[in-house]
A and B are shown apart, each in its own frame.
Chain A
Amino acid sequence: AQSVTQLGSHVSVSEGALVLLRCNYSSSVPPYLFWYVQYPNQGLQLLLKYTSAATLVKGINGFEAEFKKSETSFHLTKPSAHMSDAAEYFCAVSAFEGGSYIPTFGRGTSLIVHP
């Protein structure tokens, strides 16, 4: 079985500050990992994905995430927050279990950006 834990349901930062959203996962087999972003009243869209080719993954809008197998983590970061980054962020893990790839999502972290 796989699971995802996102620490902190809300994260508040000032514009220009570092953004750090935490994600830890558990999986009995090597997983695929994703971060999705959801803007108000919209569906989710892919921010970045772990492909196993590189542990540091770069995504859209200046976000990046680092896969750390020893810590079972896939934290999302951005050096400088922008007002437009305010959204809900979801970490997801997908592993081949039970004969198919079924993703599991974390509960989400709401990013609040103050001027």
Chain B
Amino acid sequence: NAGVTQTPKFRILKIGQSMTLQCTQDMNHNYMYWYRQDPGMGLKLIYYSVGAGITDKGEVPNGYNVSRSTTEDFPLRLELAAPSQTSVYFCASSQREPGVGYEQYFGPGTRLTVT
């Protein structure tokens, strides 16, 4: 199993440009998540999905959109990039384990710079 894969690893965008961050998992997990990580701020949840066709906002959804057409893929779309979206983005997936809850598996991250 590859686990959770993310592309690209790095990207530089100009203000106002758009892009899609790709995320794929091969563990057949129902739950998928997008986080952003800024220095000293921990992880902030952007969007999450509990299954194909179902998505919901997290703590910081403004400026982002997601879709979940398949169990495996959960792309994150930035429509009009702004400098405030400069961050490291992590995708994660999880599945309910009886008595454990939802242990998450993380991708390697995408480092995005908006200038």
Contacts and interface: CB of A to CB of B under 8 A. Distances in A.
Q: Do A and B come from one complex?
A: yes
A41 B105 CA distance: 16
Nearest to A106: B42
Given A42-B108, A102-B48, A49 B42 contact: no
A45 B103 CA distance: 10
Interface residues of B, number: 26
B80 interface: no
Contact of B42 (A34, A46, A108): A108
Interface in A59-110: 90, 92, 94, 100-103, 105-108
Contacts, number: 61
Interface in B42-69: 42-43, 45, 48, 50, 56, 58
A92 to B, nearest CB: 8
Contacts of A9: 40
B103 A44 contact: no
B104 interface: yes
Nearest to A102: B48
B92 to A, nearest CB: 8
B102 A101 contact: yes
